[in-house]
Every structure is written in structure tokens, then in C-alpha cells.
Amino acid sequence: MMNSPDTAIVIDGLRVRRGKKVVLDGLSLTIPRGQVIGLLGPSGCGKTTLMRSIVGVQKIAGGTVTVLGDVAGSASLRHRIGYVTQSASVYDDLTVRQNLSYFRSVLGAPKDDIDRVIEATDLGAHASQLVSTLSGGERSRVSLAAALLGVPEVLVLDEPTVGLDPLLRVDLWNLFHRLAGVGTSLLVSSHVMDEATRCDRLLLMRDGEILADETPAGLLAATGALDTESAFLALIRRHPKHLEQGAEQ
């Protein structure tokens, strides 16, 4: 529960209800600084809900979420945390540079930040292109570029590699590690298990629960599995929650 300088995010007993469903029911975890943390789990397990809670845009029913020592959603965190949602959140009728220029002025980030984030996301050749004419992968890189403005200390990225070709995916993972190398803490969700090996640590989630919080190598060692997908299945077999629930009902 302690907030040490090595800790980016501390979650304690987080409970979230969405509609009638309790999506998270007492979830606790700690996310270290300066690492790429993968959040993996099947569709609907609660990854986006957890990310929304960290960013401070999710109404929570209980527990605490502390980011960089402050309560999630605090005004003081606005410039310290970047969030990229699953759907690109940039303006179609503006060029790449115009979009970034708009978000830069909203954030009050330095002017030369625009060139830095264009370069980091390899969008130089598209800077003057209207977003409406970009490919899906280019468009999601514009969202990522916008999230990098102002050099946030924490980056929360919801499935940033969906729909990207393998080369681009490798580029993005390299970028994530470069950012972590200069101290940024990244939480990256994916339901593609083979991306797990690219993370420094993994959070494996199922039905709103964290089944494992491990390094990729530690996870394989703990389960005796040869790949992350098999490790995940082995963990599910050890946590037969659906059977217990069925028995209660």
C-alpha cells in the first residue's frame, strides 16, 4: 500500500460496478515506475474498466486508486498521465500537425513538443496529411502522439497495437521501451498473448481478477508452460472461479 519512489500506481480493494455488473470486486495491485507493464486477458475481463479507474474517468464503488502519490483523477495528475483509448480520439478534418497543435495548446505543453512526438511515432511523412485520409495504424499513432505531448510520467494505452501490421507493432514496442528507459511507466493492454513477452511485467486478468503479476520468465517458470498462452490456461485451471460461482447460484 506504500507509495515509494519506485511505485507509479497503487490500487487497494478497488470495486467497480458498470450497469448491473460488478466488474472489479476488491482488486489490489501495485505498478512499478519506469517499466512496461502488460495487462492481458480475454475480452470483457475488465481491462478497460481498470484503466479507466487509473486514469480517473471511472466512477468507483469502493477502494482506492493512487497514481504518483495522488488520488486517481486529481487535477494535479492531468499533465502527468496520458491515456489512449481503443478508438482513436483525434479530429478527422484536421491534419496530423493541426491535431497535435490543438492538443498541445489545451495541455499547455511546449511548442517544440509537436516535432518530438511526430518523430517518436514516426509520423513525419504524414504531418501535413488530413487524419481522415490516414490508415488505421497511422491514425492510432496520432492518438499515441497526442498522449505523448507534455511528457507524461504514466502512459495508459488500451490495446494500442490492434490492427497494426507486425513491423509497426515491433516499432511501437520499441518506442514503449525507450519511454520506459527514460522513466515513463506504461500500462499497455492487449489480448494478443504473444505480445506478453515484450513486457517487463505482466498482469494476467480474468473475470475482474488478477491471476498473475509476474515477469514473463517468472510466469513460465511458475506454471511450467512453454508460452504465455499455455501459462494463462494453466493459471485458469488453478483458479476455477466459474465452478465456484456456479455452485453458489
Ligand X SMILES: Nc1ncnc2c1ncn2[C@@H]1O[C@H](COP(=O)(O)OP(=O)(O)OP(=O)(O)O)[C@@H](O)[C@H]1O
Among 21, 238, 241, 242, binds ligand X (CB under 6 A): 21
Looking at 41-49, 101-109, 195-203, 213-221, which segment touches ligand X (CB under 6 A)?
41-49
Looking at 1-9, 40-48, 59-67, 102-110, which segment touches ligand X (CB under 6 A)?
40-48
Q: Rounded distance, CA 214 to CA 92, Å?
A: 40
Taking the complex as a whole, the smallest distance from the CB of residue 161 to ligand X amounts, in Å, to 13
Q: Which is nearer to ligand X, 21 or 78 (CB)?
A: 21
Q: Which is nearer to ligand X, 18 or 33 (CB)?
A: 18
Among 9, 40, 45, 149, binds ligand X (CB under 6 A): 45
Q: What is the identity of the amino acid at 141?
A: R
Q: Rounded distance, CA 223 to CA 195, Å?
A: 18
Question: Taking CB under 6 A as the rule, does residue 43 contact ligand X?
Answer: yes
Closest CA to 8 of 187, 172, 170: 187
Closest CA to 221 of 207, 208, 235: 235
Among 46, 82, 150, 216, binds ligand X (CB under 6 A): 46
Q: Rounded distance, CA 9 to CA 31, Å?
A: 5
151-210: which residues touch ligand X (CB under 6 A)? 191
Q: Rounded distance, CA 71 to CA 60, Å?
A: 12
Task: Spell out, one character per residue from 47 to 76, where the chain touches ligand X: x when CB under 6 A holds, - when not.
Answer: xxx---------------------------
Looking at 3-11, 18-26, 123-131, 176-184, which segment touches ligand X (CB under 6 A)?
18-26
Looking at 46-54, 89-97, 100-108, 237-245, which segment touches ligand X (CB under 6 A)?
46-54
Taking the complex as a whole, the smallest distance from the CB of residue 25 to ligand X amounts, in Å, to 12
Looking at 39-47, 60-68, 69-77, 125-133, which segment touches ligand X (CB under 6 A)?
39-47
Q: Rounded distance, CA 166 to CA 47, Å?
A: 23
Q: Rounded distance, CA 73 to CA 58, Å?
A: 9
Consecutive H or E run containing 83: strand 81-84
The answer to whether residues 8 and 154 touch, using CB atoms and an 8 Å cutoff, is yes
Taking the complex as a whole, the smallest distance from the CB of residue 230 to ligand X amounts, in Å, to 20
In angstroms, how far apart are the furthest CA atoms of the chain? 60
The answer to whether residues 227 and 193 touch, using CB atoms and an 8 Å cutoff, is yes
- Collapse the DSSP code of 145 into the 3-class scheme (helix H, G, I; strand E, B; otherwise coil) and give the result: helix
Looking at beta carbons, which residue is closest to ligand X? 19
Residues that bind ligand X (CB under 6 A): 18-19, 21, 23, 41, 43-49, 191
